[in-house]
Amino acid sequence: RPDDPIIELRGVHAAHGDIEALHGVDLVVPAGAVVALLGPNGAGKTTTMKVISGLMPVTSGSLRLSGRDVTGITATETARLGVCSIPEGRGIFANLTVRENLWVAAGERVSLDAMEQVAYARFPRLGERRDQLAGSLSGGEQQMLALSRALGTNPAVLLLDELSMGLAPMVVTEMYEVVKGLAAEGVSILLAEQFARIVLPLADLAVLMVSGRAVRAGSPTEIEEELSTAYLGG
Ligand code: ATP
C-alpha cells in the first residue's frame, strides 16, 4: 500500500553474541521522511541500523520494508531493495583511490562512469582528487566519498550513522545540506546522531533511544523537550 512505512521495526530484539543490545525496538520511518535516531553512546543506534540493513539478525520481533515482512533478510537483499547504509567510520577503503572506491561501490548494478558523474557533479573536490588514496583525504572529503558511493546506486533509503563524527562544523553543515537535497528528491533517510542539535532541524520525526529501547518518538520539537530529562535520567 502506498502509505506503508518504508521501514517498520516491531519489538525487535538483537544481540552481539550473548549480550542483547536491542530489547524490543519499535521504529517507523514513513516513506519520504527524514527521521533522526537520537540517544547517548551505547543506546543501540548503530545496532538498529545494522538490523535494518540486514547486517545483524533479529532474534525476535519483525522488520518490514515497504510493508513487506523481510525479517531475516541478508545485507545483499536489502541493498537490492534500495537500502543503503553509510556506517560509522564511513566504510571506505583507505588503500584504494577515490575512483577505485567508486568502482567497488558500483559493483554490477551501476557503471563506474555513472558513479563518477554523480560524485563529481555533486562534489567537484572529489573529481580533482580522483586518483588520490582515500586514506589521505580529509575527513570531510572522506564523508563526501562515502555519500557518493551511496548516491551513485540511487538508494530509496539512506541509513547514515554519525555523519558528523570527526568533522569540522562547517563540513557538517555542508554534509547536511546534501542530506536535505536528497530528502527533497524523495529519498527516505534515517540519521543516527548523538548530538540532537545537529539533526533535529532537518528531521520530520525524531526517535529517542535509551539502553536498547526506543523510548520516545515524536516531532523534533517534542523530542527536544524530552532530551534533557532522558540524558539526565540516563
Ligand atoms: P554509539 O553512539 O557509541 O555508536 P550506539 O547507540 O550506536 O552508540 P550500539 O553501537 O548499537 O550503540 O551499541 C549498543 C550496545 O551493544 C552497547 O552496549 C555496545 O557495547 C554493544 N555492542 C555494540 N557492538 C558490539 C559488538 N560488536 N560486540 C559486543 N557488543 C557490542
User: For 18-39, how does the pLDDT look when each residue is reduced to its tens digit (9 = 90+)?
Assistant: 999 999 999 999 999 999 999 9
Q: At what angle do helices 112-122 and 98-106 cross, to 10 degrees?
A: 130
Q: Dihedral angle at the C-alpha atoms of 148, 151, 153, 155, nearest 10 degrees?
A: 150
pTM: 0.89
| Backbone dihedral region for residue 212 (phi beyond 0: left; psi -120 to 50: alpha; all else: beta) | left
Give the bridge partners for 17, in sequence order: none
The best mutation among 18, 25, 47 to test binding of ligand 1, ranked by most ligand atoms within 8 Å of the C-beta, falls on: 47
The b/e string for 69-81 (b: 16+ C-beta within 10 A; e otherwise) is: ebeebeeeebbeb
pLDDT in tens, 113-154: 999 998 999 899 999 999 999 999 988 899 889 988 888 778
**Is the Cβ atom of 89 under 6 angstroms away from ligand 1?**
no
Backbone angles phi, psi at 32, to 5 degrees: 85, 0
Confidence band (pLDDT; 50, 70, 90) for 234? Answer: very low
